[in-house]
Amino acid sequence: MKSIKTKLALFVSCLCVVLIGLVWLLTVVLFEPNYRSMIRTELNTKIAAVAAVLEGEEAESADVLSLISLVKPLMQSGICIEVSATEECIEAHGYTSPMLGTAVPAYRAFFVLEGIGDGCQLHPSSQGIFGDKTELDSTLAVAKRKETAAKGRLSETLVDLSSSPYRQQQVVGMVTSSGYIILASTNLERVDQAMQVVSQQLILITVILLAVSLISALLFARWFTRPVTQLSGAAKQVAAGNYDVTVQIRSQDELGTLARDFNYMTREIAKSTQLQRDLIANISHDLRTPLTLIRGYAETIRDLDGEDKARRDDDLSVIIDEADRLSVLVNSVMELSKYSSGTEKPSPSRFDLAELVADVLRRYIDRAEKEGLTLQQEGPEEIEVVADPVQIGRVLHNLISNAIAHLAQGGRVTVRLTGTKAGVRAEVIDNGSGIEEKELPFIFDRYYRSRSDAGKRGSGLGLSIVKAILVAHGAPFGVQSAVGQGSNFWFELPPAPPDETQKNKESHR
């Protein structure tokens, strides 16, 4: 399998070859046809303009001299324009020679507007007694007029091989509806010779460009794939268990974003792995303690208690308490796994959050009375939200239980409900020992214990379960706390839309 570096180099090289091929095509192959086409278009435009003049109203009653004056403004340097006529045209208009007064012969030039000069093949110049003489009705010119009259249109390239270098002349012609024969011609430059020179130069240019493109392609491919190679090496290190590896961010493009995301991933993996290790270590410790107690008291019952019923009952109570503790721990781990993995998905429905809070607080009244605590609820008597009521009930249980666990006698827990722009905000506020600021970022991490919780009963997973449930709901949550002043755990839920009954009540008001 070819590497990305090889593929990029091949792609850039092929692109350069294609571009060089296009240069060859446009410069060598298509230049001459395009040049000739442009010349033909220019000449056709010129004879069309002459034809428009000859077929105009002014030319109807004009003689030959007048025709010259009408067409002469269209004369252009480098272009030869001549006008002759068929017999029918001459008879119809009664054209006569200005000098002889006789009828102008058919296919003989009325006039020639020579813009080419000595090099015109249709009207060659010769040395005469009185100087240079231009042959207006050469054999070649008469032949082309007759050919134009017969075909209606003419487009031909004349080649003069008698000169060195040989000359080429493009001739186009047409016959008007009245019988005027118009020929326009111009010399063609030696494009073929120029193309030979360009072709020779292009060979050298092509070799140089190919060499430069190949080297550039290899350097570009190496530069482009270097971040990918580094990511690949870093990924292998992560797979081997080295989560401290980081990739250097060299740019702010997509590869830079990929490197940044990779570094974030490794940090999260390292954090998750450490949390997993801590979880296993802490659970192992918590499992070891009750298991040791259960084993010890069971052996005591077996070996020492004998008929001492009171002592046996006390030992059995310890065994039962520790078994309950084990059950709570195992259930918490399973519950957290269920919420974190997405197995237990929320089933949102419309319910009264104030009523749910009151129901949860009622379950803690007996415990609060025994421990001398105050539980209170603040906010509207009815406030509906959309969420999973069972899971939100679990969140409230965990937060209230967590608050009570950190209160001294005479402490207070307040559950406050308020409406916000984003939804409904629920706050569980206590005046307990509080949390140190450095511990706040980790308070919702699984099995993280704060506020000197070491040795206290509980699984240590309550806040992790809260986090997993609220994340599954997409609900904002957080905590504010200060040591010695208490804590405020909060979360927000979307409000329930007004039902039809409520809408009708408001419309009748």
Amino acid symbol at 471: V
* CATH code of the domain made up of 254-341: 1.10.287.130
**SS3 per-residue string spanning 403-430:** HHHCCCCCCEEEEEEEECCCCEEEEEEE
Domain 4-194 fold:
Beta-Lactamase (3.30.450)
User: Where in the chain do CATH 1.10.287.130 domains reside?
Assistant: 254-341
Task: Give the per-residue pLDDT at 201.
Answer: 72
User: Where in the chain do CATH 3.30.565.10 domains reside?
Assistant: 349-501
Burial 292-327 (b: 16+ CB within 10 A, else e): ebbeebeebbeeebeeeeeebeebeebbeebeebbe
Q: Which residues does 423 contact at the CB level (< 8 Å), separation at least 6?
A: 385, 492, 493, 494, 495
Question: How do residues 151-188 score in pLDDT, each as one tens digit?
Answer: 999 999 998 877 777 788 999 999 999 999 999 999 88
Give domain 349-501's CATH superfamily: Histidine kinase-like ATPase, C-terminal domain (3.30.565.10)
Residue 102 confidence class, pLDDT cut points 50, 70, 90: confident
The strand pair at 374-378 and 412-419 is best described as: parallel
Task: Using DSSP, state whether 124 is helix, strand or coil.
Answer: coil
- Count of C-beta atoms within a 10 Å radius of residue 58: 12
Most confident of 49-58, 123-132, 293-302, 432-441: 49-58
Q: Percent of the chain having pLDDT more than 70?
A: 83
Residue 352 confidence class, pLDDT cut points 50, 70, 90: very high
Answer whether 0.85 is exceeded by the pTM: no
Task: Give the per-residue pLDDT at 129.
Answer: 60
User: Where in the chain do CATH 3.30.450 domains reside?
Assistant: 4-194
Question: Rounded to 5 degrees, what are φ and ψ at 379?
Answer: 120, -175
Task: Give the per-residue pLDDT at 258.
Answer: 80
- Count of C-beta atoms within a 10 Å radius of residue 480: 15
Question: How do residues 253-267 score in pLDDT, each as one tens digit?
Answer: 777 788 888 888 888
Amino acid symbol at 424: V
Q: Percent of the chain having pLDDT more than 90?
A: 31
Task: Give the per-residue pLDDT at 455.
Answer: 43
Of 70, 149, 156, 153, the residue nearest 121 (C-alpha): 156
Residue 131 has pLDDT above 80, yes or no: no
- Count of C-beta atoms within a 10 Å radius of residue 130: 5
